[in-house]
Structure formats: structure tokens, C-alpha cells
Structure 1
Amino acid sequence: MSLQEKLEAVLSESSAVFGVTVKHIGTQEEARINADRYFQMASTFKVPILAALFRDVEAGRLRLEDRIRLTEDDLVAGSGVLKEFLPGVEVAIRDLAMLMIIVSDNVGTDKVVELVGKERVEAFMRELGLNGISVKFDCWELLSIGAGLAGEKKGKAGVDRLNKQFAETGFDPDNFIFQPSPENNVATPSDMGRLLELIATGQLVSQEACDGILDIMKRQQLRNRIPYSLPDKTVIACKSGTIGSVVNDVGIVYLPEDKGAFTIAAMSQGNGTMKEGEQLIARLALTAYEHFMSQ
């Protein structure tokens, strides 16, 4: 069976809608399923943000060593650890970026977005020819709109209201944030895979910038999707994302025995449970891994 057929067989067991691209960086063998369809990125949008940050560092606009003071007004709901810190802590920009990726920290993400600028992240994607990646909202905006609290200010009071709303109603599946619109935080698996390929091959900004991005992504601590079923010592640079029924993971998998590496962008919507989506992504990654190892 071809790689395409193998991945389609895995997805045939799911009622969710998946978009997947897998590409071996050396041989260029690839498979594409709904590759040009828009999907809500959820926290995988932190990869374009990280790319734009390192572009700004390379240009001398920002320094990773500079420290940013976090206040109560910076609080954001959702994943991460910085929301648990006492107000007033000073965190290096590099550490904000590290937490943004390895534990998907929303406070750290929104501070990086504040430094880089949403519009500049999207403009950078356009410069790269990645017209299928749109970044319109930071984490707080995405969550507050999803909860029906558009315009609510971040900070302790806003987080309390957001958490109360989520506890009562959860996400509305018809909410705008789930619509496949370029006015949303969306990406096509094709363009997300291309961004990963540029990073993996040192073609994004500079080799030094790509090395910095990969150093962070390889430290990923959330390993229940792409990495889950792969051999324990497999080197993987990845970033997952979840919101409502959206379950995503995107990354670069490095194969042993000089077999090269492959990119994988798995994005989905309509999963019955988060675990169902996670298991499908783990199976997709393992299927691709075994296919390339057999070549």
C-alpha cells in the first residue's frame, strides 16, 4: 500500500474531519488528505508566532535575553503555568517562548504576541508564501470569543468570568472560532506542513534561527499525540492544539538509522472526545514512521 492509502485507512475509522499532510524531507514522498482545507489551528498557531519571534530576533528588533514583567492584567485562562505565578515575576523572552511551546502556556503566548504583533505574524506568513495561515486572535481573544464573551478584558476578573461561563455552557460548536474562515485562526495542513519543512531544512530566516526554533520544539512535554506511539528515543519537534472538538498536532519526526525526517500536520474537527482525536493522530504518526522506516 502507498503512504496515502495507509493514512486513509487509519482515518476511515473516524467520524471526525481530518486534514493531514505527511512529507519525507529527503525523498519528498508525501500524502495529502484535505490538505488545502482550512482548520482552526488552536494552539498550533504558536508555531507561526515562534517563527515570527525568531525573525524579529534575527533582525535585532527583540532580544531573547530581555526580561518582561508579568502583572495580574496579563492573566489568561487555559493551559500553562505562568497563570499560577505571583504577579510581578520577570521572565526572559526566550523563557516565554519556551513555555508557549513545551507546555502551551497561554500567558506566555499572549506576551510574545504583544511583543511581535498579530498582524506582523500573519504578514510574515504571507512573505513566506503561506497564504493558508491566518492569525487574527491571541489566546485570550480566541477563548473569550469562544465563550461568548467577546470584548472581555484579560486579567483576573476576566479569567474568573470566562471560567464560570465555560463551567456552565462550554464551547458552542457553532461559534465563529470554529468556522473555516481566513478571518479566523486557521491554517491549511499544506501550508502548516510547508512551514515545518522550512524550519526543518534551515530555510526560515537563517540556519541559526531554525536551530533556535527546533531546540524549543524538541523539548515538547505534551507527548500524547504525534510522539505517543513512536519509539521512546525518537526525536520529535512538535506542537499540539485543542479547543472544543478541534484536536491537532504538527511536527517534525526524525527517523533513526539515517532514514531522514518527515513533517506531519494533523488537524481535525468534530472529534467525539479529545482522546479519540489524540489516538487517531498517534496512529497516523506511527503509520508514517513505519512506512518510511520500511523504505
Structure 2
Amino acid sequence: MAFSTYRVAGLTILILCLSVMCLSGFCQSGTSTKLEQLRQQVNQELAKQQGTFAVAFKDLETGQELLIREHEVFHAASTMKTPVMIEVYKQAAQKQLSLSDSLTIKTEFKSIVDGSPYTLDAKTDSDTNIYKYIGTKRTLADLVYDMIIVSSNLATNLVIERVDPKKVTQTMRDLGAKDIQVRRGVEDSKAFSQGLNNTTTAYDLMVIFEKIATGQAVSSEASNDMIRILLDQRFNTKIPAKLPKDVKVAHKTGSITGVLHDSGIVFLPDGRKYVLVLLSKDLKNEPAAENALATVSALIYNYIKG
């Protein structure tokens, strides 16, 4: 009698264990299927456009990723300003500088090719306000803020001259971003003509934004302050464009002719967050491509929401 009871109990436990394993496998299979469906939707949307696109998405709660051409090299455009910001906070943490340090506003810089001078002009800068302050001083904190939220080229050159682009690139390597290259400031035409550009991959931008999102870029305090700045981004026509108003995006865009990028952290009202990087090049219709990137962002958000 006792033997029969134990045997029945053992069979019951075995059946329960098998059921749990099957259910777990079903859930994993279901999730995998949904992620593959998302991949197809994203590819279909981007295939409507002439150009080359890369996508890197990571759900920071589950670790799930969607990667498309994630290691392809793109001109970084203004996405390189996020690595520069990280380097500023790193050097501040190491007491090599202070965010309260003041820099004199100037417009002349030296080409990395031969040291010859080149000048920045308000006409080719998204930030024209800073040119009113030529000859005066502004804090490094203010310049970093303008470099990110209005993508100020002049602020960028002042900051990168202070921290050294080689150090920026080395810090990216230390964070696990193996391909980002930060070589120079903005509008160095001699360097551009020789192909000496700042470059990135979607994967590397995903890596550094994950570090910021998880408090591992310099420190938790520094990461939180960088998120504060990134949340104030003024250019919101790509990742945030088709998302609900209560979804917050801490991000940095980038654009030059035929190139449109966006990269950042998406914060949901329920506390979940994910990293999304959208890169593009060789675009023939930039407004249509920008709309497609916004649509891809919405597709990924809907996937996360379930």
C-alpha cells in the first residue's frame, strides 16, 4: 500500500516537472517566434527605403537582443558626442578636470591632418546661440550640455580639444566598445577628405548606452547625470517620435548628408527600460527614411509592451 502511494506520488512529481519544462520551452519558443516576427517587421519597414540601415536593440530586463548589421561601420556624425561626454565625466572622476572649469569660446581649431587652422561658422552649426559668447568663458558643464541637447558643434570642438580624442577612443575600448573611433572634432574638412572620420557601429553604441543605463559608465552618479542631460535632447524626430508621451528617451542623434542616426535608452512608465540604436547611410530620401526609423522604434516599443 505504502509502495503504491510512493509510486503514485513519484509519478505525479515527474509529470509536474515535465509539464514545467515543456511550458518553459513553449514560452522560450513563443518569445523566440515573436522576436523573429519583430525582425521581419523591422526589415520590411527598412526595405522600403533606399539606403543601408543597422539596428541594435537590447531589453535590459530580459537581455533579449535584436541585431541587424550591428557591426557595420558608419560615419558617427554627432553620435560621437556621447563618447566625448563619457570621457569628460571619467576625467572629472579622476580629478584631471572639473565640470566647473571654464573654457574660452573660440571658433578656430587645428586639423588633425597637418595642424592647419580651420574655423567653425554659425551657419553650419545647429547651435547658433553659442557664437554670441565668442571671447568669453563658459563652464565645461554648460558646453557638454549644449553638445548633447542641441548638438552644438562649437561646444563639441572645445570639449574634445580639452579631453583628447585618443583618450575618448581608449575609454570606449575599456567599456567594451571595440570599433568606435573618435579621431577629431567637427568640420575638419582636410581630415574628412582623407577619410579620417569619427566612426561607429550600432553594436558599440548599444554597449555604451547599456553602460550608462546600468550605472557602469564611470559611476552610478556620473551615469545618472549623463542620463539627465540626454533626457533633455531637443531633436526628437526618430526614436521618440511615435512613442507615447509618458515614455522617456535619453538619447543622442546624429546626421550629415545621407546619414541619419539615433541612439539611446527608452524608459517605460512601469520602470522597464531598453537600449535602441538606429543607424543609416547612403539615404536617397531623408524625410522618408527618418519616418521609417521612427516606425521601427514604434515597432520595438510595441514588442516590449506585448
Q: What TM-score, normalized by structure 2, do the two folds share?
A: 0.80
Which residue is 1:105 aligned to? Answer: 152
Aligned to 2:227: 214
Residue 46 of structure 1, aligned match among 81, 86, 93: 81
Tell me: CA distance 1:282–1:111, structure 2 relative to 1, closer, same or farther (3 Å): same
Write out per-residue CA displacement over residues 14-59 of structure 1, whole angstroms, 9 at most, x where no aligned residue: 2210011011111111101001111111000101111111111111
Distance 2:77 2:190 in 1: 13
Residue 37 of structure 1 contacts residue 188 of structure 1 at CA under 8 Å; is this kept in 2?
yes
CA distance in 1, matches of 2:100, 2:183: 27
Aligned-partner Cα distance in 1 for 2:45–2:180:
26
CA distance in 2 between partners of 1:72 and 1:107 (Å): 7
Does structure 1 residue 24 correspond to structure 2 residue 59? yes
User: 1:272-283 alignment to 2 at 5 Å?
Assistant: 272-283=284-295
Residue of structure 1 equivalent to 2:213: 200
Distance (Å, rounded) in 2 between the aligned partners of 1:241 and 1:101: 10
2:127 aligned partner: 80
User: How much has 1:63 moved relative to structure 2?
Assistant: 0.8
Q: Which whole-Å CA distance do the structure 2 matches of 1:227 and 1:56 have between them?
A: 31
Greater Cα shift, 105-114 or 223-232:
223-232
Q: Which has the larger displacement, 246-255 or 84-93? A: 84-93
Q: Structure 2: any 5+ residue segments left out of the alignment?
A: 1-33, 110-118
* 1:152 corresponding residue in structure 2: none
Aligned to 1:136: 183
> 8 Å contact 1:76–1:83 — kept in the other structure?
no
SS in 2 for 1:85: helix
Contact 1:236 1:251 (8 Å CA) reproduced: yes
Q: Is the 8 A contact 1:100 1:109 kept in 2?
A: yes
**Could you tell me which residue of structure 2 aligns to residue 122 of structure 1?**
169
* Percent identity of paired positions between Structure 1 and Structure 2: 28
- Structure with higher Rg: it is 2
| Matching residue's letter, 2:301 | Y
Give secondary structure in 2 for the equivalent of 1:98. helix
Structure 2 residue corresponding to 1:91, chosen from 138, 158, 165:
138
Matched residues in 1 for 2:133 and 2:190: separation?
A: 23
CA RMSD of aligned residues (A): 1.7
Alpha-carbon deviations, 1:237-273, whole Å to 9, x = none? 0111111101111111111234x11111111101113
1:223 is aligned to 2:236 = yes
Q: May I ask how many residue pairs the two structures share in their alignment?
A: 259
For 2:263, what is the secondary structure of its paired residue? strand
Are the counterparts in 2 of residues 19 and 268 from structure 1 also a CA contact under 8 Å?
yes
SS in 1 for 2:184: coil
For the residue of structure 2 that corresponds to 1:134, the secondary structure is: coil
Deviation at 1:185, TM superposition (A): 1.2
Q: Separation in 1 of the partners of 2:101 and 2:200? A: 31
How far did residue 140 of structure 1 move? 2.6
Task: Indicate if the aligned counterparts of 2:253 and 2:261 stay in contact, CA closer than 8 A.
Answer: yes
- Letter paired with 2:187: W
1:240 equivalent among 253, 277, 280: 253
Residues 1:263 and 2:237 aligned together? no
Q: Is the 8 A contact 1:82 1:105 kept in 2?
A: no
